[in-house]
Chain A
Amino acid sequence: MLAKRIIPCLDVRDGMVVKGKNFEGIREVESPVALAQRYNLSGADELVFYDITASAEGRALFADTLKAVASCIFIPLTVGGGINSLDDFDRVLKCGADKVSVNTGAIRDKTLIGRAAKLYGDQCVVLSMDVKRVDGKFTVFSHGGRVNTGISAEEWAYRGQEEGAGELVLNSIDTDGVKGGFDCEMLQKVCARLTIPVIASGGAGKKEDFLTLFQSVPQADAGLAASIFHFGEVGIGELKKYLSENGVHVRL
């Protein structure tokens, strides 16, 4: 039986992991390689790296970091951040990424998902969306959650799937960093028409939040979180044991 996945997310700036609150107030945490190794040992099913550096130096450091992680950890690695072209796909795939996550780049160039899926396969292309309620409608935001695109989240997700995205990350801006639980209402609504795997993101504060997610949003295949894992508030091993005891099928 297929297991629900628990995925820690590492925001990397200049080669170091950082975690902010509501996309602001960024602070440094630790070396991505050490953290990734710890997560791997504690049973993380996959790792997601977001490169939040803008400079060329930062990009180079990120490439080194990614290579170092991919050389010692053998679980799926997804990389996002600054992916705007097929060259960007190529750049991170050569450093050991298995999947590449596109967000603003897919909004800017609506052909990017389709072209990448054709070249690298659907399994390689992850559409990541930052979603926020605007006048009661779930709306896609770009540029790290700063720009309202006016695009409906339901439509964008469906279009991404049809274009060839093999997986979807749905991040709620409304619940991100608040630690009050996943945005199950948004996830249910946006997932309704989808047939590709969905990773829920934004809002996990305690292990019960993951149980609520998997119980109330059956379409969610994975739960993603950052700070609660980084700061040791919830251990991945402990979380998976708790989920298993409560009837959620996980890899132990």
Chain B
Amino acid sequence: MIAVIDYGVGNLFSLSASLKYIGAQSEITADVNKIKNSSAIILPGVGAFADACKKLQNSGLIPVLREQAEEGKPMLGICLGMQLLFERSFEYGEHEGLGFIGGDVCPIAPDLKQKLKVPHMGWNSLIFKRPSPIYKYLSDGEYVYFVHSYYAKNCESSVTATCTYGGIELTASAERGNVFGTQFHPEKSGSTGLKILRAFSEIR
């Protein structure tokens, strides 16, 4: 059973439906024992970093997430859930993250070389940087769906894929050990996204 962490952030309908669609059992939960007994963990999230971080702290689940990550349980952070995995974020101030993956979360806008719209919203193609088990069913250049105004930086050694936007490369995914993060939404990325979720569900 994949535990989808319920800490009051975001709309989990699509994520649950897509896991069901690929035949993976999942449960939206904030129960420590269920999280401990799960086969894998997904940390979802939309909205602002500080707000989500506070909700996650209030949920009391950070210690169990840390323990599970250290034990090597497969963990996938999606969108803001991915950003939470890093050490800190500079979204409206400076905030501490979970620190499971080294790096910072910074605003896209000041880094763009061409003046383009922020949020970076829509379908962009993946450029693989190093092999990742979550991409085992993908070919180079497949498109995934992004909606974000901040991106992970200073995490080069963990980056598994990027995409280009406004003359720069944005971190599309990163991982350390069995902790994975995707800036894009696999549950909204059509058949490509389903292949990523399937590959994640097969990681042991």
A→B interface (CB under 8 Å): 1-3, 5, 40, 45, 70-72, 74-76, 93-98, 120-124, 166-167, 195-197, 221-222, 251
Contact = CB atoms under 8 A, between A and B. Distances in A.
A1 B124 contact: yes
B117 to A, nearest CB: 6
Contacts of A122: 119
B47 interface: yes
Interface stretch (B14-22, B34-42, B85-93, B174-182): B14-22
B46 A121 contact: yes
Given A75-B188, A98-B188, A195-B117, A2 B14 contact: no
A123 B163 CA distance: 20
B193 interface: yes
A76 B13 contact: no
A contact face: mostly helix, strand, loop, or mixed: loop
A167 B121 contact: yes
Interface in B89-124: 116-124
B189 interface: yes
A95 B189 CA distance: 18
6 closest Cβ pairs, A-B complex: A96-B13, A251-B143, A251-B123, A121-B47, A123-B147, A3-B123
Interface of B: 11, 13-14, 17-18, 20-21, 46-48, 116-125, 143, 145, 147, 163-165, 187-191, 193-194
A166 B18 CA distance: 25
20 contacts: A1-B163, A3-B143, A45-B123, A70-B13, A71-B17, A71-B20, A74-B14, A75-B188, A75-B189, A76-B188, A96-B13, A96-B17, A97-B11, A98-B11, A120-B11, A124-B11, A166-B119, A197-B119, A251-B123, A251-B125
Contacts, number: 90
A221 B17 contact: no
A3 B124 contact: yes
B43 to A, nearest CB: 17
A42 B10 CA distance: 29
B122 A74 contact: no
A197 B145 CA distance: 14
A76 B117 contact: no
B122 A3 contact: yes
A74 B123 CA distance: 13
B190 A70 contact: no
A197 B122 contact: yes
A98 B14 contact: yes
Contacts of B187: 74
